[in-house]
Amino acid sequence: MISKISENTWQIDEFGLVNAFLAEGEDKAALIDTGAGLSDIRSAVRKLTDKPLEVLLTHSHSDHSGGLYHFYDTPIHMRSEDEGLRLWGMRTDNEFRRMYVRTRGKERKEELDALIPEGNPDCTYFKYENIEDGMIIDLGSRALKCIHTPGHTDGSVSFLDEKNRLLFSGDTVNRSIILMREEDNSLKKVRVLHDTLLKIRNLSSSFDYLVIGHGSPRLEKSIISDYIEITEGLLSGSLSGEYEERGFRKGDVIRLGSAELWYRCDS
């Protein structure tokens, strides 16, 4: 489903599972993430714009990059730390897509199963240009500033659109952040996320909303303070979460205000 969320900006919602976004400038358009590869996202994009396209990945998890096979003739930008996720065994083919619709789609398993693409397109290997922190993607009278925001993955990037006052934050900041367990069970990733949240808070006079990778796309930026309170509390030892299993999430979870952080996650 396609919804306009701001001037020349659309949410491309892949069956309620994951969001991609199209941001059009005067000269070029940027597709931020590609969905899991369950839909013909290329045709959807081409109905909205005929301008030259670039693909920007917030991170390389397969639900955000599984549609890349539609764009191998298009410049793709990603942060290089996230290449390892794919090469170390993260599936990006139909085995992943089947697992994804079965674990995420609640009531509509058969309907979603029918969306698995033919030919088992795999997106493990693709050519990309590395995203530098602070790099500007100039779309013509509209720019996206690339901000390295590690935490959810080492190579996570957010895109600041100062003109439309939006921060596309992917899974870096959303309604339920997930951090995987460290081998030594430490809070290393919580510290990394904490630094990222401070970096985002420093930019917060430049945007009004976060635009996120799952669910309703606009998120109030006040959630950033709730997350900072959580990460500060965990790092100082004044707060701690409890182990929980809910849907596909398994790990320690802590909730505060509108924020929910899953850390030490095993899946």
User: Which single residue brings its beta carbon nearest to Zn ion?
Assistant: 61
* Part in contact with Zn ion (CB under 5 A); list of ranges 20-28, 31-39, 163-171, 240-248: 163-171
Find the shortest distance in angstroms from Cβ 84 to Zn ion: 15
| E strand map for 79-194 | 129-130, 136-138, 143-148, 157-161, 166-170, 177-180
Judged by beta carbon, residue 74 or residue 176, the one nearer Zn ion is 176
> Which tokens is 85 given?
């996720």
Q: How far apart are CA 83 and CA 128, in angstroms?
A: 10
Site string for Zn ion, 190-229 (x = CB under 5 A): ----------------------------------------
Residues 6+ apart with CB under 8 A from 245: none
Amino acid at 194: H
Which of these ranges, 8-16, 117-125, 170-178, 215-223, lies near Zn ion under the rule CB under 5 A?
170-178
Which of these ranges, 57-65, 99-107, 114-122, 181-189, lies near Zn ion under the rule CB under 5 A? 57-65
Q: How far is CA 147 from the centre of its chain?
A: 13
Is residue 260 near Zn ion by the rule CB under 5 A? no
Residues that contact Zn ion, how many (by CB under 5 A) = 2
| Residue whose CB is less far from Zn ion, 94 or 153 | 153
Nearer to Zn ion, 61 or 148 (CB): 61
| 171 touches Zn ion (CB under 5 A) | yes
- According to DSSP, residue 186 is labeled -
At its nearest, how many Å lie between Zn ion and the CB of residue 153?
A: 7
Token readout for 201 is 């808070």
Query: Binding mask 10-49 vs Zn ion (x if CB under 5 A, - otherwise)?
Result: ----------------------------------------
Nearest to 4 by CA among 21, 29, 27: 21
Whether the Cβ atoms of residue 162 and residue 143 lie closer than 8 Å to each other: yes
CA-wise closest residue to 123 among 157, 158, 78: 78
Helices and strands in the chain: count of H runs, count of E runs: 7, 17
The residue from 28, 61, 77, 86 that contacts Zn ion (CB under 5 A) is 61
* Smaller CB separation from Zn ion, 8 or 60: 60
Choice between 49 and 92, CB closer to Zn ion:
92
Q: How far apart are CA 257 and CA 229, in angstroms?
A: 10
* Site of interaction with Zn ion (CB under 5 A): 61, 171
